A and B are shown apart, each in its own frame.
Chain A
Amino acid sequence: MFSTIYIEEEVLETSRVKKMLDRFPQVPRVVCERYGEVFNRKSQNFRLQKKAPALILAKKYGSKVLAAPDGYGYNDSRSYYFSHMLNCVYDCRYCFLQGMYSSANYVLFVNYEDFEEAIASKIEENSGGGVYYSGYDCDSLALEPVSDFCKHFVPLFGEYPNAELEIRTKSTQIRHLLEQPVIPNCVIAMSFTSHEAGARWEHKVPSIDKRLEALQKLQLAGWRVALRFEPLILDSLGLTPYENLFAQVFAKLDAKKIHSVSSGLFRMPIDFHKRIVKLYPDEELFARPTTTADGMIALKSEDESLQLAAIEKILFSHVSPQQYYRCG
């Protein structure tokens, strides 16, 4: 699963790290002083590293709960995100993480208690409220068997019923969620693109069927689930891929019980895009004509807003506009 496990000296003797290491007796271990020595080094190639990523076990210092970027969330409450992990086990060609980090290795911050303290303190700062996103810099659930992320972070929100936790994922690792009592203010938000887009740009991601099956199990168990249809990459196939996707999704889930649905077009900070183009000069997606506005890059399309509106119209045949928001 990992080519190497790097361990910061400071966390080497912690019981959590020892337990994690016990799972991988055959994987070579390398002790480092700080994770940045491995992760932030120059002259690394994200694309090559994706072939055999390493796991880095580290301690997170500094701010652990940050303000969510504009347009990330689904309501006007104060929104924050926290990242117990950097990078994702999946390999989606459109993902901004490829341009954000110089390394494709996974950094797992193991000082969960510090995160919990920071989250609790932020919730209290917000009079017990606020929305807290996990899964901005990683996929929250994909490494669950190793990280036990849900076991630790989800129950915390049970103590703060007015705060909301959104776990954004493409993973089907839901066992730990199903084993614990439902926390009504925890939302599991699953991301989808069309079959066609997935086949082309998503690698190692569980199939749409498998993800829907996981969502259905969660919904039946009483968990609140949400749908994130992003990034929408519009092309010559038109609306049919989305009609098909929505039909498949809403045939499986109880639309009325869905917490929220969002969609968002392909957008990325210009600098990230530049770096990704260097990594993937042969990728058709990044060779397409683009436009830039407010530091973000988008694919050039004359009728983008019309197409987005048409997709939303199809969505509204399944869910109410009140359940929907446009991302970004």
Chain B
Amino acid sequence: MIETLEKSLHGAGSTPVNIVVAHALEAKALIPMLHLQPFDTTSRFVQYGNSNNLHLIVSGIGRAAMEAAITDLSQQQANEEGQIRAWLNIGIAGHSQAPLGGAWLGNKITCQVSGVSAYPPQLIAHIDSGAVITVDEPERTYPEDAAYEMEAFSFFEQATKYSTAELVQVFKIISDNLENPIEKLDFKNVPNWIGLQQEQIILLISKMSSLVGEYNDSNRIPEVYRDLCSRMHLTVNQKLQLRRLCLRYKALGLESDLESVISLAGSHSKKVISQLSAQIDRVGKQ
């Protein structure tokens, strides 16, 4: 099954998922695993992508770097069609006893500085989940049963400004513990530990991709909306009205009628909107 999922990540379908890592070494394992290529951009953040819409950005370490990278990427990907992307933070973390290379999805992310917690909704089954604590300085004693790291809380808070919480997830891979303290961490092992989680990572991306795909499909605006926006001057309010009307035609199975109603209304924006409104009120009544 995992081979099929893996193929789907670089096959014909779309995978509108952004992966955010703090360190280039974390990206190193993911690039071949996910068939990513360097992404040409003017952004100050290193990015990778594939033709299938999967994207990876290297944020740098710490909360501020993470926030900046997400803001940058979301501006780069902004669209007017209401299409969103899933966001996945993959990174290393420490835990008192968990074995190196072990991993879990964050179901509670606490900012150690503020004490505030966030709870990413857990829609994806068959992946272990656990607590994550975001710290500003590396943690050496790991007092709680949680993965200690430096970006997850900011990642979740920032990414949920551009997507819905169900589609923002944090996956932490254990790189240090009491027996293998952070001072002795050999960074060369990071790609190996991430590689060990290949199956889980692919499953996660694949499920997130399917959820975001479903969301975007239901919010897909008929093509004619974009045509009209480029053809005539529309105020912000008119664009909203037109968008809703196009979606209503689609929901009522009348998408194919849009063109003919619009062509009858001519090129005046007010007339187009009133004509579309009048027609749907006539036809939509049961």
Contacts and interface: CB of A to CB of B under 8 A. Distances in A.
Interface residues of B, number: 39
B286 interface: yes
The secondary-structure label for the interface of chain A is loop
A204 to B, nearest CB: 17
Given A33-B117, A43-B161, A48-B166, A28 B281 contact: no
Nearest to B123: A52
A91 to B, nearest CB: 15
B219 interface: yes
B121 A289 contact: no
Interface stretch (A61-69, A155-163, A276-284): A276-284
Contacts of A288: 252, 284-286
B275 interface: no
Nearest to A54: B122
Given A44-B165, A54-B122, A300-B281, A4 B251 contact: no
A284 B251 contact: yes
Given A235-B286, A289-B285, A301-B285, A284 B122 contact: no
B164 interface: yes
B166 A287 contact: no
B15 to A, nearest CB: 17
B160 interface: yes
A281 B219 contact: yes
B228 interface: no
A45 interface: yes
B281 A289 contact: yes
Interface string A1-28: 0011010000000000000000000001
Interface string B248-259: 111111000000
Given A32-B117, A48-B166, A235-B286, A282 B107 contact: no
B215 interface: yes
Contact of A28 (B107, B217, B252): B107
B164 A44 contact: yes
B125 interface: yes
B141 interface: no
A103 B247 CA distance: 24
The secondary-structure label for the interface of chain B is mixed
A120 to B, nearest CB: 35
Interface in A237-293: 277, 280-284, 286-289
A3 B117 contact: no
Contact of B165 (A32, A33, A45, A51): A45
B98 to A, nearest CB: 15
Contacts of B107: 4, 28, 30
A3 B211 CA distance: 16
Interface in B101-125: 107-108, 117-119, 121-125
Contact of A49 (B108, B160, B166, B250): B166
Interface in B142-178: 160-161, 163-167
B280 A282 contact: no
Contacts of B118: 41
B285 A300 contact: yes
B165 A41 contact: yes
B51 interface: no
A37 interface: yes
Contact of A287 (B130, B161, B165, B284): B284
A141 to B, nearest CB: 26
Given A48-B211, A288-B286, A4 B252 contact: no
Contacts of A236: 286
13 contacts: A4-B107, A4-B122, A28-B129, A41-B119, A41-B165, A43-B161, A48-B123, A52-B124, A105-B121, A286-B251, A287-B249, A287-B280, A289-B280
Interface of A: 3-4, 6, 28, 30-33, 37-38, 41-45, 47-49, 51-52, 54, 103, 105, 234-236, 277, 280-284, 286-289, 299-302
